[in-house]
DNA sequence: CACGGCAATGAATCGTACT
DNA sequence: AAGTACGATTCATTGCCGT
C-alpha cells in the first residue's frame, strides 16, 4: 500500500455502506480521511472460519495450549491488520473507539499501544440488565470495555467536555457508563422475528461517544458496521458516516434502518461550548475603550492591589506585567487567571473584570 | 528452573514478608505451593510533567522509581517474568487476580493469555470517589480493572458462589464492584503524616476476592505486597499468606499493621450454603466496607441479639441467614424488614443499620 | 457537643495559540 | 520550529477549627 493512491476527499463514499472484508475495503480509501472510527470487532477467537494462520491454513476448534496459542496469534494478526488500516485512515487529530470483552480487549489494547495509538481512557459500559451467569461458576459478566485512543501522543483530539458534563447532570463524565443493553423496540428483528444481529449495540452508547468526540460534519467510520447503529446515530447527530460490512443480511437491515433515520434539527445538535471556544479578548481593550482608566486600582479576593497602566499591563509594588502574570506572582502560584482574579470598584461595589470581558464579547456577537 | 527443586510445603514461609525482588523471591519457592495469587504490579504510568488542581495546589503523583520502565518492551519482559513464576507457584486448581489501569492492564492480560492462564472474568473496581480530571481533557478516570484467571483452562478453581451472592444481598455478584478508594482511618500514614504508600488498596476489595475465591486455610501469595492489605485481610479471614516486598519502608509498615490484625471468630467465617434473601442495597457491603465488622453484635428493639458474619449473613443461636430471615425467625413472624429491625451500638448509642444503607445510597447516587 | 465552614487530597499518561 | 503568553480547570470525602 503506497500513500500516493489518494482519492480526493470529495469522492469519499460518505453515508453509504461498503460491502466486503473490512481490511480490503479500508485499503481502497485515502489516507487521513476520517475524524473518528468506532470499531466493534469480532472477538470469537475461532471466528468461524474467517481466521487463518499466516501459512493460510485454517484454524479449527481447539483446546490444547498450542492450538490456543496459534489461535491467539491468528487473532493478533487480524487485529494488527485492521488497526494499521484504521490508523492510516485517521486524520492526524483523529481518534478511535473500540469495544470488546475480556476475550479480546487485552490483545486489542496492547496492539493499539504497539502501533503508537495513545490511550485517552478505557471506558466501562456497565450493563444495567446483563444476562445472568446461569451455571453459578463465575461472576455475572455485566460489562464490556471500550478503549478511546488518539492516533498519536500529543494529538489535538476532539473532546466536548462541557457537553458530556451536561449529559451527566452537571458533574464531569466518568469512565464508567451505566447503559441498558439493546432490546425492546430498538432491537432489530429479521423476517422470522429473531434478532437480526447477535451483538447490536445500544444507540445510547454511540450517542454519548459521538456527542463527546465529534463535531457536526465530521466523518465517522465503522469498519464492522453490523446493523448500522453507528451510522444511525451519526445521521441523527448530523455527522457523515461510512460503514463497512461483509454480511449481506446485515447490510440489508442497516440500509432499511438508515433510510428511516431523521437528523435532529439544528438547534438540538448544538451542544454546550467550552469557554476555550469563545473569542479571546485582550485586557488592553478594556483600557482602550475606557471601561477601566489608566491609574485605576484593581483588587484581588485577598486584598492584593495593582494599578492599571495605559498599555494594558498592571503594576503592583515592583511587579509589572499582564493581569495573569502579576496575579500569579502575588499569589506565588504557578499560574493565575487574571480575568477572575482581579476586581474593580464601581458605585461602592466590587465587580470582577470578567464582567467587562463578557460585555465586549456580547457586542462582538451582534 | 527444574521442577524437582521442591521444598516441602511444611517449610513454606507462611504468614511472613519476604524481602527482595519479587521474581527472585518467587524462584526460591517450590512449585505448586499456593492457592491464590493477588498481584498489584507497577502500572508504568509514564507521567510527564506536574499537574495542578484548579486551586493551584499540586497533585501528589505516583512518580516512584519502582513504577518507571524504559519502554513497553521492558515492561512486557518484566510482566512475562513475574507471571511465569506466579504460574509455577500456583497449584493446578489455583487462580490469579491482577489489578491494573489502562496503562498496563492490556499488556498484562495479553501475556496472561499467552502463558496459558484462563481468564474467568475481568472485574471493574468502580471508585465511588475518584480523583477528578482537573483539566477537563478526558473522562474522569473512575475505575481500575482486575483480571481473574485460573492457572489452566478447565481447572477446578475455587468460587464461593453462594457466599458472594449473600454478600450481594441475594443476587448474583456482578463483574463491576462499587467500592470507595482507601482513605480515612484505613489509609496508613508514615511518621510525617504522609501516606505510607502511594497506591494502598482498600480492604473491601481484598475481602470480596478472598471470600469469593479461597477457603479457610488456603495459602495466598502477594508478590507486590506493599503495605500488606492482602496479608491483613487474609489474616482476618483465617487464610495463610506470603508477601514479597522489596522496599524496606513498606515492609516495616506492613509488619506493624499485620501485628495488630486479629482473625475474625470462627462462626463469623462460616459461609452460608443455603439460598435466600432479596432486597436492594446489599447488607454485605456494610461488612466489606468495614461499617460493621464480622463478629459484631446487632440488637433488635426487643433485645434479641445476632452476630454479623463475614459473608453478610447473621447468626443467632442456631438460626443463620440474612438480616431479614433471622429477624423473622426470632420474632416468629412470616417476614421482617431487617433494615429497620436491626441496630448496632456506636459510642454508647443504638443506631439502626438503615442509617448505614442510607450512607451507601448517598455514595451510589452518582 | 453539634454543626458549619474551609482546607486537604486521591495510581493522572490533564493546553493552546500566537509570534 | 521553538519560545512566550494567555487563561481554563475539580468531586467526594475526611478532618480540623471555630462558633
pLDDT in tens, B26-75: 999 999 999 999 999 999 999 999 999 999 999 999 999 999 999 999 99
Residue B199 confidence (pLDDT): 98
Residue A254 confidence (pLDDT): 98
B210, B236, B268: which is the final residue of a domain? B268
Length of chain A: 366
Report the pLDDT averaged over residues A212-229: 97
Domain residue limits at B310: 283-365
Residue A61 confidence (pLDDT): 42
Residue B283 exposure: Cα atoms within 13 Å on the Cβ side: 32
Report the pLDDT averaged over residues A45-66: 47
Report the pLDDT averaged over residues A3-18: 71
Q: How does DSSP assign B307-318, residue by residue?
A: EE-TTS-EEETT
Q: Which nucleotide is nearest to B40 (CA to C1')?
A: C11
B348 in contact with nucleic chain C (CB within 7 A):
no
> Is the same domain home to B216 and B293?
no
Partner A, chain B 171-230, Cβ-Cβ below 8 Å: 172-176
To the nearest whole percent, how much of chain A has pLDDT over 90? 77
Residue among B103, B120, B137 minimizing CB distance to A159 = B137
Residue of A nearest to B76 (CA): A110
Residue A6 confidence (pLDDT): 44
Q: With beta carbons less than 8 A apart as the criterion, state whether B200 and B229 touch.
A: yes
Give bridge partners of residue A297 from the DSSP assignment.
A307
> Is the same domain home to A116 and A185?
yes
Report the pLDDT averaged over residues A341-347: 94
A161 CA – C4 C1', rounded, Å: 33
> Is the same domain home to A46 and A153?
yes
Q: With beta carbons less than 8 A apart as the criterion, state whether B208 and B188 touch.
A: no
Residue A9 confidence (pLDDT): 53
> Is the same domain home to B329 and B239?
no
DSSP structure class, residue B81: H
Per residue in B215-229, pLDDT tens? 999 999 999 999 999
The span from the CA of A320 to the CA of A311, in Å, is 11
Residue B4 confidence (pLDDT): 42
pLDDT over 80 (residue B280): no
pLDDT over 60 (residue A7): no
Q: Is residue B76 part of a domain?
A: yes
List of chain A residues whose C-beta atoms are within 8 Å of the C-beta of residue B52:
334-335
> Is the same domain home to B55 and B116?
yes
Q: A11 is written with which cell numbers?
A: 469522492
To the nearest whole percent, how much of chain B has pLDDT over 90? 78
Q: A251 is written with which cell numbers?
A: 447490510
Report the pLDDT averaged over residues A279-308: 95
Contact A140 B175 (CB under 8 A): yes
- Give me the total of CB pairs closer than 8 Å, taking one residue from chain A and one from chain B: 140
Q: Please tell me which residue lies nearest to nucleotide D14, judged from CA to C1'.
A: B184
Report the pLDDT averaged over residues A85-112: 98
Q: Is residue A76 part of a domain?
A: yes
Residue A59 exposure: Cα atoms within 13 Å on the Cβ side: 25
**How many domains, chain B?**
2
Higher pLDDT, A51 or B204: B204
Residue B74 confidence (pLDDT): 98
Residue B329 confidence (pLDDT): 93
- Bases along strand D below 7 A from a protein CB: 5-15
Residue among B106, B113, B164 minimizing CB distance to A113 = B106
Q: What is the mean pLDDT of chain B?
A: 90
A268, A301, A326: which is the final residue of a domain? A268
Q: With beta carbons less than 8 A apart as the criterion, state whether B314 and B303 touch.
A: no
Q: Is residue B29 part of a domain?
A: yes
Angle separating helix axes B72-89 and B105-114, nearest 10 degrees: 50
> Is the same domain home to B262 and B295?
no
Q: Is residue B6 part of a domain?
A: no
Residue A1 confidence (pLDDT): 36
Higher pLDDT, A8 or A135: A135
Q: Is residue A4 part of a domain?
A: no
B136 in contact with nucleic chain C (CB within 7 A):
yes
A226, A245, A268: which is the final residue of a domain? A268
Residue of A nearest to B174 (CA): A140
pLDDT over 90 (residue A67): no
> Is the same domain home to A128 and A168?
yes
Residue B8 confidence (pLDDT): 52
Per residue in A170-185, pLDDT tens? 899 999 998 889 988 8
pLDDT confidence tier of residue B190, bands split at 50, 70 and 90: very high
Compute how many other C-beta atoms are within 10 angstroms of the C-beta atom of residue B349: 8
Report the pLDDT averaged over residues B181-191: 95
Long-range contact set of residues A112-117: C-beta below 8 Å, sequence gap at least 24: A112/A83, A112/A147, A112/A149, A112/B106, A113/B72, A113/B106, A113/B107, A114/B72, A115/A80, A115/A83, A115/A84, A115/A87, A116/A87, A116/A151, A116/A152, A116/A153, A117/A83, A117/A87, A117/A149, A117/A150, A117/A151, A117/A152
Give bridge partners of residue A97 from the DSSP assignment.
A38, A148
Higher pLDDT, B285 or B127: B127
pLDDT confidence tier of residue B258, bands split at 50, 70 and 90: very high
> Is the same domain home to A191 and A297?
no
Residue B169 confidence (pLDDT): 84
pLDDT over 60 (residue B7): no
Q: Is residue B200 part of a domain?
A: yes
pLDDT confidence tier of residue B273, bands split at 50, 70 and 90: very low
Q: How does DSSP assign A76-103, residue by residue?
A: HHHHHHHHHHHHHHEEEEEEEEEEE-TT
Residue B364 phi/psi, 5° resolution?
-85, -10
> Is the same domain home to A263 and A177?
yes
Residue B11 confidence (pLDDT): 83
Strands (E), chain A: 16-19, 34-39, 90-100, 118-127, 143-150, 176-179, 219-222, 240-245, 297-299, 305-308, 314-316, 319-321, 343-346, 349-352
Q: B285 is written with which cell numbers?
A: 457491603
pLDDT over 60 (residue B6): no
Report the pLDDT averaged over residues B308-325: 86
- Bases along strand C below 7 A from a protein CB: 8-17
Q: B102 is written with which cell numbers?
A: 489502562
Q: With beta carbons less than 8 A apart as the criterion, state whether B118 and A117 touch.
A: no
Residue B365 confidence (pLDDT): 38
Residue B3 confidence (pLDDT): 42
The span from the CA of A80 to the CA of A23, in Å, is 10
pLDDT over 70 (residue B2): no
Q: What is the CATH number of the domain that holds A30?
A: 3.40.50.150
> Is the same domain home to A39 and A110?
yes
pLDDT over 60 (residue B274): no
**Quick one: how far is CA B243 from the chain centroid?**
15
pLDDT over 60 (residue A10): no
Q: Is residue A77 part of a domain?
A: yes
Residue for grid cell 455514595: B363
Report the pLDDT averaged over residues B99-124: 98
Distance from CA of A219 to the nearest CA of B (A): 21
Name which of A39-53, A55-69, A142-156, A275-289 the model is least confident about. A55-69
Q: Is residue B41 part of a domain?
A: yes
Name which of A179-183, A207-211, A226-230 the model is least confident about. A179-183
> Is the same domain home to B327 and B221?
no
> Is the same domain home to A178 and A97?
yes
pLDDT over 50 (residue B328): yes
A113 in contact with B at a CB cutoff of 8 Å? yes
Amino acid at each position: 500500500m503506497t500513500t500516493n493512491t489518494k482519492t480526493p476527499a470529495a469522492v469519499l463514499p460518505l453515508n453509504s455502506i461498503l460491502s466486503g472484508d473490512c481490511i480490503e475495503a479500508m485499503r481502497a480509501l485515502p489516507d487521513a480521511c476520517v475524524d473518528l472510527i468506532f470499531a466493534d470487532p469480532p472477538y470469537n477467537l475461532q471466528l468461524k472460519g474467517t481466521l487463518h494462520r499466516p501459512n493460510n491454513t485454517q484454524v479449527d476448534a481447539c483446546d490444547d495450549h498450542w492450538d490456543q496459542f496459534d489461535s491467539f496469534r491468528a487473532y493478533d494478526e487480524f487485529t494488527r491488520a485492521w488497526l494499521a488500516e484504521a490508523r492510516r485512515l485517521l486524520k492526524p487529530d483523529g481518534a478511535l473507539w473500540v469495544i470488546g470483552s475480556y476475550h479480546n480487549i487485552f490483545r486489542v489494547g496492547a496492539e493499539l499501544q504497539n502501533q503508537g495509538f495513545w490511550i485517552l481512557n478505557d471506558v466501562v459500559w456497565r450493563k444495567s440488565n446483563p444476562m445472568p451467569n446461569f451455571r453459578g461458576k463465575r461472576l455475572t459478566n455485566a460489562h464490556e470495555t471500550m478503549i478511546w485512543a488518539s492516533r498519536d501522543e500529543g494529538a489535538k483530539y476532539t473532546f466536548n467536555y462541557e457537553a458530556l458534563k451536561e449529559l451527566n447532570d452537571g458533574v464531569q463524565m466518568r469512565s464508567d457508563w451505566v447503559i441498558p443493553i439493546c432490546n425492546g423496540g430498538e432491537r432489530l428483528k429479521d423476517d422470522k422475528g429473531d434478532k437480526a444481529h447477535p451483538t447490536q449495540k445500544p444507540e445510547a452508547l454511540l450517542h454519548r461517544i459521538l456527542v463527546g468526540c465529534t463535531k457536526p460534519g465530521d466523518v465517522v467510520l465503522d469498519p464492522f458496521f453490523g446493523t448500522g447503529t453507528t451510522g444511525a446515530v451519526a445521521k441523527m447527530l448530523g455527522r457523515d458516516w461510512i460503514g463497512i460490512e461483509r454480511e449481506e443480511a446485515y447490510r440489508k437491515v442497516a440500509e432499511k434502518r438508515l433510510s428511516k433515520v431523521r437528523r435532529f434539527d439544528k438547534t438540538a445538535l448544538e451542544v454546550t461550548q467550552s469557554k476555550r471556544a469563545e473569542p479571546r479578548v485582550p485586557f488592553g481593550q478594556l483600557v482602550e475603550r475606557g471601561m477601566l482608566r489608566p491609574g485605576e486600582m484593581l483588587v484581588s479576593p485577598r486584598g492584593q492591589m495593582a494599578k492599571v497602566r495605559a498599555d494594558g499591563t498592571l503594576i503592583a509594588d515592583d511587579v509589572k506585567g499582564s493581569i495573569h502574570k502579576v496575579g500569579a506572582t502575588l499569589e506565588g502560584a504557578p499560574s493565575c487567571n487574571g480575568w477572575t482574579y482581579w476586581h474593580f470598584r464601581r458605585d461602592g461595589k466590587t465587580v470582577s473584570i470578567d464582567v467587562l470581558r463578557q460585555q465586549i464579547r456580547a457586542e462582538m456577537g451582534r
